[in-house]
Structure 1
Amino acid sequence: MRSENWRPSASIKVLRKRALVLQKIRLFFAQRDVLEVDTPILSHASVTDEHLHSFSTQFKHPFSPQTSILYLQTSPEFAMKRLLSAGSGPIYQIGKSFRNEEAGRFHNPEFTMLEWYRPGFTHLQLMTEIDELMQLVLDCDLAERVTYQDIFKQHLGCCPLTASLSDIKTLANQHGYDELTANENNKDTLLMLLFSQHVEPQIGQVRPCFVMDFPASQAALAKISSTNPLVAERFELYFKGIELANGFHELTDGPEQLKRFEQDNTKRQNMGLDIMPIDSNFIAAINFGLPACSGVALGVDRLLMLALHCSEIDQVIAFENSRA
């Protein structure tokens, strides 16, 4: 039997609409004088986050017997921040990112990311601009804004900021996760599980919803709040059951960022994961002077699912992974 896998997973009609949405996004930034940039997909270093898994490959140099390990980017963040430190001003990028061990209704291991950075913006100001883009692309209502603490307490009856690991394990067991909690001693892993399964499906159903002020332990590359050391100046955007974006009031402290990367690698080692090489060029760029800024990474394919009323990510990309 002849295989039909040569056919695209998205219809040509949808791909034409996809192109129009991308044009609209580019016009949105052109009108705001935000520069479009293009950074490498391959890098000598990768993310240290224990929840992200990078693809790697080997580069065989034609004039050297040595081979180098290169990583496919999980996000263009580090390279774009190097441009910010070099004086680029506001920038955005629409490009491919790659994450291993991710596939499903909302995931493809190769996907399109929209990432942009605004020097001089707080994360609250950036949220307003994201809201404007959402209304343009999706013709939706103004987004609501809630704190992680309040929405977690509302749906799970527990304060995620002050609860102990034991408290969170008890809560998880009450929701049937006994097998998972037995050997899990990372509070944030359990918080993420509970949040994804019992909070995310409840929010942003009628209009988009920004969840702000994530626990400081989940800060990643965000500043810790100057008014509440228990939270980070980080937000995520949800709409109709889909996580669309993750944004930060960006950390500009090089030594603190290096410390966080090293802590990540300690966690990775304790979990039996590979220790990842830390991006020394990125740290050097921060130390040189990353301007005060806010940035966000937004999943374009997921945005297109909403814009084009599709239920699966496969329906908005030309060739999903099994057809690639």
Structure 2
Amino acid sequence: MTADLWRPSATIEALRQRAALLADIRQFFAERRVMEVEVPVISRRATSDPHIESIPAQCSGASAYLATSPEFGLKRLLAAGIGDCYYLGKAFRQGEAGGRHNPEFTMLEWYRCGWDDHQLMDEVATLLSQVLDIRQVRSLSYRQLFLHELQLDPHSASDKDLARCVEREMELSFSPYDRSESLDLLMSHRLEPAMGEGITLLYDFPAEQAALARVTADKQGTQVARRFEAYVGGLELANGYWELTDSAEQLRRFEADLDYRRINGHTINPFEERLVSALQAGMPECAGVALGVDRLLMLAGGYESIEEVIAFPIERA
């Protein structure tokens, strides 16, 4: 046993900065009359997202899971009539480790009723600008970024074109599994590092990457996912949607996630069918976004590793 593992990995000054940041976030939403709410961090349901794994738990002799995000609880509250709301607290994901990840982390997630993704993008930019004292903000579509950096239209390019682009732009010991993996590899290894300084808001993602966002036609008539991501200096901070409210489509996407998990040998856990019921009851038109608070603090304080802004990361928990 190492004698100093009882100590926090973050300095006391970093923890003071964390406290100030949380206070600033709450003040930001208080000024806008957005209500802070709590939702369970332990649930009988797990995430169906094939790229995220829930951490299992036991509760009263039955299987349970630590929440990977507050999303499903917040949407159930929205369907019940809570109105504009936010959650600021812990979320948990299996296998998350490294300089930017910890299995237990702090998430900010909020929803604006009657808004679309572009209106929410503006509010995200306002919050980031205030916290980070950055005035340089640019918004561009997923297509514009790919065309500018790779001379490739991600919506119309064939699967083979995307795979060839991956092979040309990076050295990998494997071939991309599918179209979506090619796009993700190009984004993470080639495009994010090229974003430069300032805040970048990226919108209109490929329809196959809709997750829980609605799909509509863009100005070129292409079906796109009405979601956005916010980056600062190439570091992803936030992921937002013009939220899907169609219960039948939501169920179809959950089932597609489970099919992907079965085909690829992933764990199959009970999915959140109560969200489908909430959508059937009538969730209001809204936009929502999740933001990583630990990463935001890293940027605000000039820290290199997430361990510098968390008192007790998993190695010391």
Q: Normalising by the residue count of structure 2, what TM-score does the alignment of the two structures yield?
A: 0.96
Identity %: 45
Q: In the alignment, which of 189, 207, 212 is matched to residue 216 of structure 1?
A: 207
Consecutive unaligned residues in structure 2, runs of 5 or more: none
Q: In the alignment, which of 290, 299, 315 is matched to residue 283 of structure 2?
A: 290
Q: In the alignment, which of 153, 160, 165 is matched to residue 154 of structure 2?
A: 160
User: For the residues of structure 2 that align with 1:69 and 1:212, how far apart are their CA atoms?
Assistant: 38
Which residue of structure 1 lines up, in the alignment, with residue 145 of structure 2?
Answer: 151
1:68-87 CA distances to partner (integer Å, 9 max, x unpaired)? 21111111000000000000
1:126-184 CA distances to partner (integer Å, 9 max, x unpaired)? 11111111121111114210111111222222211111222211122223455321xx4
After TM superposition, the runs of 4+ consecutive aligned structure 1 residues lying more than 6 A away are none
Report deviation, 1:185: 3.5
Q: Secondary structure at the match of 1:201?
A: helix
The answer (yes or no) to whether the contact 2:92–2:103 under 8 Å persists in 1 is yes
Q: Number of aligned pairs?
A: 315
Consecutive unaligned residues in structure 1, runs of 5 or more: 62-66
User: For the residues of structure 2 that align with 1:171 and 1:21, how far apart are their CA atoms?
Assistant: 41
Which residue of structure 2 lines up, in the alignment, with residue 79 of structure 1?
Answer: 73
1:210-241 CA distances to partner (integer Å, 9 max, x unpaired)? 01001000000001024444311100000023
2:304 maps to a residue whose letter is S
1:18 aligns with 2:18: yes
User: For the residues of structure 2 that align with 1:185 and 1:162, how far apart are their CA atoms?
Assistant: 19
Which residue of structure 2 lines up, in the alignment, with residue 194 of structure 1?
Answer: 186
Residue correspondence of structure 1 range 1-324 to structure 2 within 5 A: 3-59=3-59, 61=60, 67-177=61-171, 179-181=173-175, 184-203=176-195, 205-227=196-218, 228-324=221-317
The answer (yes or no) to whether the contact 1:156–1:198 under 8 Å persists in 2 is no
RMSD: 1.4
Q: Normalising by the residue count of structure 1, what TM-score does the alignment of the two structures yield?
A: 0.94
User: For the residues of structure 2 that align with 1:178 and 1:2, how far apart are their CA atoms?
Assistant: 37
User: For the residues of structure 2 that align with 1:173 and 1:268, how far apart are their CA atoms?
Assistant: 26
1:14-43 CA distances to partner (integer Å, 9 max, x unpaired)? 101110111011001011110000100011
1:48-78 CA distances to partner (integer Å, 9 max, x unpaired)? 111111111122x3xxxxx421111111000
The answer (yes or no) to whether the contact 2:43–2:64 under 8 Å persists in 1 is yes
